[in-house]
Amino acid sequence: MIWVEYMIYAFLTINIIFNLLGSFSLHRFPDVYTRLHGATKCTTFGTIFAVLAVVVHALYQLKVTNDPKYLQMALHSIVALVALLLTNPTGAHAIAKAAHLSGVKPAKAVIDAYEEKLRNRNRGEAQ
């Protein structure tokens, strides 16, 4: 085996570990907010390493075969990663905000800053 294959296997192993951690966070954490946080962070980080594995493979194959389809594969993977990095946190924020507005309270939160902000905003409108 060559060093590129070891690098690809290492990236894929890290991807699997972080995706498993994200799956465990769905079962172990007490409320929707911590579950969402754990799953979003872990799967995003794991996907970064999956894309790194694809890019390393594609660039190595491009060097060996000089076939431009491998450059296209690397670029498409990077574009997909950028899309994921933009939409995953945004989607998680939208889900968390919807859960909060629906009345789902954090399990062990001492201070709910978002609720205080909404309360202060409503007081300002009432006056």
Radius of gyration for the chain, computed over Cα atoms and rounded to the nearest angstrom: 21
Residue type, 35: R
Instruction: Assign 60 a pLDDT band (cuts: 50, 70, 90).
Output: very high
**Residue 118: pLDDT above 80?**
no
Position 89 pLDDT exceeds 60: yes
Task: Provide the 3-class DSSP secondary structure of residue 8.
Answer: helix
Q: Can you tell me the distance from the alpha carbon of 82 to that of 75, in angstroms, rounded to the nearest whole number?
A: 11
Instruction: For residues 126 and 107, give the distance between their C-alpha atoms in angstroms, rounded to a whole number.
Output: 30
pLDDT for 1? 67
pLDDT for position 23 = 92
Does the structure show a pLDDT above 60 at 31? yes
Look-up: residue for tokens 């889900």?
A: 95
Mean pLDDT of 82-98: 93
Please determine, for residue 105, whether its predicted confidence score (pLDDT) is greater than 90. Answer: no
What are 106-115's pLDDT values in tens digits? 887 777 777 7
Residue percentage of the chain with pLDDT more than 90: 68
pLDDT exceeds 70 at position 126: no
List Cβ neighbours of 55 (8 Å cut-off, separation of 6 or more).
Answer: 74, 77, 78
Band of residue 79 on the pLDDT scale cut at 50, 70, 90: very high
What is the chain's mean pLDDT, rounded? 90
What Cα–Cα distance (Å) separates residue 122 from each residue in 75, 76, 101, 103? Answer: 48, 46, 14, 16
The predicted model scores a pTM of 0.81
Place of tokens 């924020």: 93
- Cα(56)–Cα(36) distance, rounded to whole angstroms? 30
